[in-house]
Structure 1
Amino acid sequence: MTSIIASKLSSPAPQSDRTQGSSGPNVATPSLNASGDRANLTTLWREPEVGAMYRNTEYTTAKQSPTLIDYCGLPEDVLASLTRPIRVLDMCCGAGVVAAHLQARMKKLGIERKNLVQLTCADSSTSQLEHVSARVKDQGWTDTKVVVADIACLPFDSNSFDHVLVGNALMVVAEPYAGLSEIFRVLKPGGRIATSTWAVEGWVDATRDAVAELRLPGSQQPVPWPQTSYHLTRSWSPGLWEDEYFTAAMYNAAGFTTISTKTEGTSHTFNDGQQLHTAFETLQLGIIYRFWTAEQREKLAPLLAPTISEHIRKKYGGEPFEVTRTSVFATGMKPEA
């Protein structure tokens, strides 16, 4: 992480011209709204090194994927009873964790080669999409397209998809409200959306005390660090996406009906502090980018991982420990014409 902090985070990452998508990742990345990007650090996710870091979050996000897929109206019994092809969009697909679970579910049911589920994986990060493209090839995913796309300006025709999944992303994109409207547009009448957004990030409590004494030499002030989960979620998200009522209201504003929400937590076992740091490194990087000065980033960021690791070792005596992540799941339908 040292090289990223030193060379990437002292100035905003450049943006390139918007494109209208592609069947592969080797095209220019679409630009984003500048003010929204500054507020949400969206450009940060596009850095190749950060994209590689983000893949480590699959250790925790994987447990949430089955719930998200079910909530989108694609439980096993529905998939098993398909008689006609459906089109599914995994938007803001990241490293492909949701798509991987959907593909595994299809293989379990023996329908992966029946052309019944036509999957599109889309993201604005070419680094992430290169990884997804490799998974498509290496893991034998069927009927899968990989497309560069900005959620706020989707390169798809209206009324194109039967289901749209957005896992752990809507709260960190630059224009989530425009994104919901775009998803409404590309869904077919009667089509369904499902999203998951963070509610409580339990790793914040696990790391808070570790960073309490991290400061520049001669300074009396420790570096800022979230003291509770909402210090992270509310400083990053344009809206209260950790709240079921707010999420449902935004679905309503975008035009969705038959809206349901629920909040669920998943528990995750970590062997040591380094594993914890690695799993949440991208979010910690966002904290550093938003709250720390350039000098703090340069001099103290290299100390973050060993500081957290040593604190965790002392706190848990070198034994495995549990961290809980809680998410808001929401679903809605585009009304029939």
Structure 2
Amino acid sequence: MTRRLPPLYPLRAFEAAARLGSISAAGRELSLTQSAVSHEVKALETYFGTALFRRTRSGLVLTRHGQRVFAVAQSAFADLSGLGWESEGRDVAGTVTIAAPPLFCAHWLLPRLDRVAWANPDVAFRILNVTVDRPELLREVDIAVVWGERMPTGCDGVTLMSATQMPVASPALIAGAGDAEPEELLRQHRILHEGTTDMWRGWCERAGVDLAGTPSEWVFDDPALMIEACTRGHGIALGTLPLIEGLLSEGRLVALFRQALPAPFQYFLTRPDPPPAGRAASIVFDWLKTYARSGKGGPAPNGRT
């Protein structure tokens, strides 16, 4: 029997829109118009005979079938991109300096960096945690990951990933809550903030949640420390996905609301313009871009997982 496969171009457009949470953002990445991306996604929905997205005021939300298609598409694209990755980067040496926010470093970059290190054993890494906006630093490092509203000026780069946010807490903190509603939990427990209280206020406005009357508030200039405090039961934090997916899957954190809302910021992968001359920095930059866009980063070296 001939195997019937989904159409590739609509699948590519759908994967980009699902990953970025936006039809227009997918169009910018793929150099297509918003109308063209919508047409491709519609074609894929026609192929499967069901809706893959729900359009809401907050952005695109995957349906249950859309989630399944997205997971398979990401895995397939990762494996295909990995075919080229296995043959690149051999015999590359040098030190690559990467600056990134601490939450991104701890929960996204470090758990994955061993893949590129395995493929390039002569490449050394220098990792800098950046908790505040330091434009001058972007010109002094090989690669920088920036959390912000827009791409920094004077840099070469791409949108690395969009992010969503939802209130999270440790299981122990809410163990005795019984049937308390999520909004009631927010008013009963301490709220943990990242940098300022603006992020929480903005989320509550978008979600239609009243945060007035919370017992106390703690503010952290280091979001990784904020998440650590949250896992220890010190309060409820606004967790950023996909960075905390591991903590959620491990059961160290639980989500209080079912739906995550688009974050006001995105992660941008940047490098100085013109880029550093070393081939090692170029290899790592391309790898990070491929890893984030595939959702997987290519096959593990020698079949490792």
Give the structure-1-normalised TM-score: 0.27
Which one scores higher on RCO, CA 8 angstroms, separation ≥ 6?
2
**Of Structure 1 and Structure 2, which has the larger fraction of its residues in helix?**
1
Give the structure-2-normalised TM-score: 0.28
